[in-house]
């Protein structure tokens, strides 16, 4: 039997090699689904927000007919929110993971510090500043990927985080008619109920005992609700 296909937009990463570690907890889906990540930073031109998300709408409109479900992590989830109009009349599962609706003061401060360090090419300090919040309440793990091109890493992080800070999806979320599931970590210091709106259509769930990396922090809970969403129960 041919597997169904899931298109995944991952979070902002310093290098595309990091994407595999983001989606690896979804391995439980691979008996029935094939996972297809695309780099959320595959578009990095100097564009206005309107132009940037218009480019993504064009890009996604070509992918949508060929995929059965869509996942967006953090920045990837922000992109999907901005492209909700493409999904209005589709009956295909859409799941967001830790995607802010807007940047509140706390998120802006934390991400702003990371951007400042990247602008100074202090990439190791920048990643430590970011990851202490990303991995909270856990310790930052040893990174398996060595960053050899720190200039590229800085550009990628700056670009993605700046887009997150400059994007307000409030009106889209309030007006949308797109059924979807959004998972956020109960303990997250970055994306939480202070900067995530309950959607007009869809389900917002707070994952118990989880920070930003909800799949790694509480996979049993996430696995259950993800499978329910894919089977149309949510």
Largest CA-CA distance found in the chain, in angstroms, rounded: 52
Q: What was the pLDDT predicted at 162? A: 98
In Å, how far are 88, 155, 157, 158 from 152, measured between CA atoms? 36, 5, 9, 10
- Residue 112 falls inside a structural domain: no
Q: What was the pLDDT predicted at 145? A: 54
In Å, how far are 18, 79, 89, 183, 206 from 144, measured between CA atoms? 9, 27, 41, 26, 29
- Residue 25 falls inside a structural domain: yes
Q: What was the pLDDT predicted at 200? A: 82
Q: What was the pLDDT predicted at 147? A: 80
Q: What was the pLDDT predicted at 197? A: 94
- Residue 21 falls inside a structural domain: yes
pLDDT per residue as tens, the chain (234 positions): 789 999 999 999 998 888 998 999 999 999 999 999 999 999 999 999 999 999 999 999 999 999 999 999 999 999 999 999 999 888 899 999 999 999 999 999 999 999 999 999 899 999 999 999 999 988 888 765 578 888 999 999 999 999 999 999 999 998 888 999 999 999 999 999 999 999 888 899 999 999 999 999 999 999 999 999 999 856
φ/ψ of 175, rounded to 5, equals: -100, -10
**How many domains, the chain?**
1
- Residue 45 falls inside a structural domain: yes
- Residue 134 falls inside a structural domain: no
- Residue 44 falls inside a structural domain: yes
In Å, how far are 77, 79, 121, 179, 220 from 183, measured between CA atoms? 11, 16, 33, 14, 13
Residue range of the domain that includes 37? 4-101+169-230
Give the contacts of 210 (CB within 8 A, at least 6 positions apart). Answer: 185, 186, 187, 188, 217, 218, 221, 222
- Residue 139 falls inside a structural domain: no
Report residue 227 as tokens.
Answer: 């499978």
Q: What was the pLDDT predicted at 143? A: 65
Q: What was the pLDDT predicted at 138? A: 87
CATH label of the domain that carries residue 10: 3.40.50.1820
- Residue 164 falls inside a structural domain: no
Q: What was the pLDDT predicted at 76? A: 98
């Amino acid at each position: 039997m041919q597997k169904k296909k899931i298109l995944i937009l991952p979070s902002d990463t310093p290098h595309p090699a990091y994407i595999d570690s983001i989606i690896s907890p979804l391995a439980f889906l691979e008996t029935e689904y094939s996972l297809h990540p695309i780099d959320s930073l595959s578009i990095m031109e100097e564009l206005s927000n309107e132009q940037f998300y218009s480019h993504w709408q064009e890009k996604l409109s070509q992918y949508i007919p060929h995929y059965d479900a869509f996942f967006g992590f953090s920045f990837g989830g922000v992109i999907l929110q901005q492209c909700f109009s493409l999904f209005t009349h589709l009956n295909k599962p859409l799941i967001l993971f830790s995607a802010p609706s807007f940047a509140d003061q706390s998120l802006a401060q934390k991400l702003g510090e990371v951007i400042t360090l990247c602008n100074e090419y202090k990439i190791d300090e920048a990643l430590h500043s970011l990851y202490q919040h990303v991995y909270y309440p856990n310790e930052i793990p040893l990174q398996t990927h060595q960053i050899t091109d720190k200039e590229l890493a800085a550009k990628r992080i700056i670009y993605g985080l700046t887009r997150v800070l400059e994007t307000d999806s409030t009106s889209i979320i309030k007006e949308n008619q797109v059924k979807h599931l959004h998972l956020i970590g109960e303990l997250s210091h970055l994306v939480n109920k202070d900067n995530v709106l309950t959607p007009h259509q869809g389900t917002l769930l707070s994952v118990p005992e989880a920070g930003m990396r909800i799949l790694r922090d509480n996979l049993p809970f996430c696995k259950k609700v993800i499978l329910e969403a894919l089977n149309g129960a949510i």
